[in-house]
Structure 1
């Protein structure tokens, strides 16, 4: 057996560096997305102390990301999508630019960011389920068992929280909104994935935001708040517009490309824990053992489910 040449060694080292960089970029992207929950709650405020309206946060963040996307697409001289690519882009707009942030914003007015982190921890599993249904990808029975188990854990958590808050054993409207947000995001991800190979991963989110701009920009200007808004709410709004809706995807998609989608996508399992930890300094939420325990249990079903998919 011959020893590897210098060129081969250099290639191996370069590949290892790319994989390591990709992994860290994936972690960065997940951390950026995780802060979306407490940042959105900062932006909208609570039902008792409202700040920016959920509709304004939704269209405003998409408009801000759309303006940044226009600059990026012009600077990189990106070609326009082809005719058959506009439909999945439009569906991605409805799922990722409108549905997910709007439902999330309304839910976070009545539940904590830590609570939302447990429900949205189902996102990877729901995305895989949508992929199996929409893209006709086969999944083993064990995957669907994990999907049902994870969903049951989320329902149990929501019922327990409702009972602890004196609402009885029943799902709150916010929990239904969070489930809707997860489904909307999953559909948007799958539709965006259809055109990613042709358009390029980083450009997909730019075209999604730019496609929505003719609606989101006038709507944001029309819904501009007339009442005074706290500086912290504006800070949360800027974060979800610049980072959650735009820059986070650059780190995430680049990480997937460098480190490999199979390996880097596992970092998504850290997202609920990042959200819970970020809510402590940003919102003053306590580190609740029950919430953390349910988050661990839901993530465990996601881990097992992805292995069985």
Structure 2
């Protein structure tokens, strides 16, 4: 679909008639999951040299500059007025809300504990999709989704010692706003290219992100190290832009519920990265949980809608 077609395509028609491309769509959504799985370890690295507010604001500015540059270079016309409310939801959920709340949580929470959010995110996104878009997955889908979520939550809580912390309020808030942003972004990706969905959402936040970054950098100490710079660059370019580009494109191809369930693998991937990059330790339950999650993912991908 050409970039300017979003200005004339009736949203109601596009939303009810998505084009299903299971193979490529699943691969694209899976690439998004891999990119997202690095977000928490990269954030932990970023917090070694930046304050939480500075990290979130600067990552938003950098990601918006990348997205804005691509939109300008390709001379993409702005979306129609009808799409801007949805883009505002995407911006509030995945550009501002989720990064800010999880970054605040990671000041005191381990990445293993924070993975509880991602463990519940697939199920929450499927629920938001059912309410907002009207998707009706089968009972088999819901049973597998619940089983996968239970397996991931049980494992991640066990990894973090089973204790609730003050960071949990941030984490559960991040879960809700991100699920709303994913659902709205997946809906919009049916009427415009996925990269434009996150691109315009990032540009929408730029007028707020620039002054926020200036204020935060003036009040929070900054120490530029290899870890902090690498973490910042990844969450800006990888998590905030490139990951969401392939993610929304995959959601448009295979549907929001099925794409969301691929994220059941994300907490386990995050924990692997935590071992490799942060020196955290896993228990012997990891391979068993991974096997259970893979079975649940396979069932949700084969279940009829």
Band the TM-score falls in, shorter-chain normalisation: 0.7 to 0.9
2:56–2:99 Cα contact (<8 Å) kept: yes
Secondary structure at the aligned position of 2:175 is classed as helix
In structure 2, C-alpha distance between the alignment counterparts of 1:270 and 1:235, rounded to whole Å:
24
Counterpart of 1:275 (choices 257, 267, 270) is 270
Match in the other structure for 1:39 = 42
In structure 2, C-alpha distance between the alignment counterparts of 1:78 and 1:155, rounded to whole Å:
41
RMSD, aligned CA: 3.3
Shift of 1:210: 0.3
Match in the other structure for 2:178 = 185
Q: What is the TM-score of this pair, normalised by structure 1? A: 0.76
Query: After the TM superposition, which residues 30-179 of structure 1 pair with which residues of structure 2 at under 5 Å, given as runs?
Result: 30-45=33-48, 51-139=49-137, 160=158, 164=161, 171-179=164-172
In structure 1, C-alpha distance between the alignment counterparts of 2:23 and 2:129, rounded to whole Å:
28
Query: After the TM superposition, which residues 228-307 of structure 1 pair with which residues of structure 2 at under 5 Å, given as runs?
Result: 228-254=223-249, 260-261=253-254, 265=259, 267-290=262-285, 293=288, 307=303
In structure 1, C-alpha distance between the alignment counterparts of 2:291 and 2:204, rounded to whole Å:
37
> Residues 116-136 of structure 1: CA distance to partner in whole angstroms, max 9, x if unpaired?
334412222210011112234
In structure 2, C-alpha distance between the alignment counterparts of 1:176 and 1:298, rounded to whole Å:
26
1:43–1:232 Cα contact (<8 Å) kept: yes
Match in the other structure for 1:12 = none
1:118–1:298 Cα contact (<8 Å) kept: no
Q: Give the number of aligned pairs.
A: 280
Name the CA shift for 1:63/1:299 in 2 (closer, same or farther; >3 Å): farther
Q: Which runs of 5+ in 2 are unaligned?
A: 1-20
Shift of 1:256: 5.9
Shift of 1:212: 0.4
Name the CA shift for 1:181/1:297 in 2 (closer, same or farther; >3 Å): farther
Match in the other structure for 2:7 = none
Name the CA shift for 1:274/1:80 in 2 (closer, same or farther; >3 Å): same
Q: What is the TM-score of this pair, normalised by structure 2? A: 0.77
In structure 1, C-alpha distance between the alignment counterparts of 2:131 and 2:148, rounded to whole Å:
18
1:139–1:308 Cα contact (<8 Å) kept: yes
Q: Which runs of 5+ in 1 are unaligned?
A: 1-17, 46-50
> Residues 51-97 of structure 1: CA distance to partner in whole angstroms, max 9, x if unpaired?
42222222221111111111111111111122221111111111111
In structure 1, C-alpha distance between the alignment counterparts of 2:129 and 2:278, rounded to whole Å:
35
